[in-house]
């Protein structure tokens, strides 16, 4: 089962718990948690459509720059 569907099943189960809850504050928390699982399901669906491949960058030789000697300020006089 795709991960998005797993999250939707969890959201449905939590939503069912919310409907059976007598305390309004607990019911609201369950509903909030169910909505979070639905957002996770949507994100999991988007992630499943992404085809991300990591490629190790090729090593480039380090180019060392040589510092040019600077003329003395006093020798210009």
> For the chain, what are the domain ranges?
3-48
pLDDT tops 90 at residue 56: no
More confident residue, 63 or 1: 1
- Are 40 and 8 in contact by the 8 Å Cβ rule? The answer is no
The pLDDT confidence band at residue 36, using thresholds 50, 70 and 90, is very high
pTM greater than the 0.85 cutoff: no
pLDDT tops 90 at residue 46: yes
Share of the chain above pLDDT 70, in %: 95
**What is the model's pLDDT at position 76?**
54
CA angle 73, 75, 76 (to 5 degrees): 75
Alpha carbon distance 48, 39 (integer Å)? 14
């Amino acid at each position: 089962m795709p991960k998005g569907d797993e999250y939707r099943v969890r959201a449905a189960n939590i939503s069912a718990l919310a409907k059976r809850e007598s305390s309004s504050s607990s019911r609201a928390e369950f509903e909030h948690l169910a909505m979070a699982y639905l957002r996770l399901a949507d994100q999991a669906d988007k992630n499943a459509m992404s085809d991300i491949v990591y490629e190790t960058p090729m090593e480039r030789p380090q180019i060392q720059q040589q510092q040019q000697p600077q003329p003395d300020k006093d020798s210009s006089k």
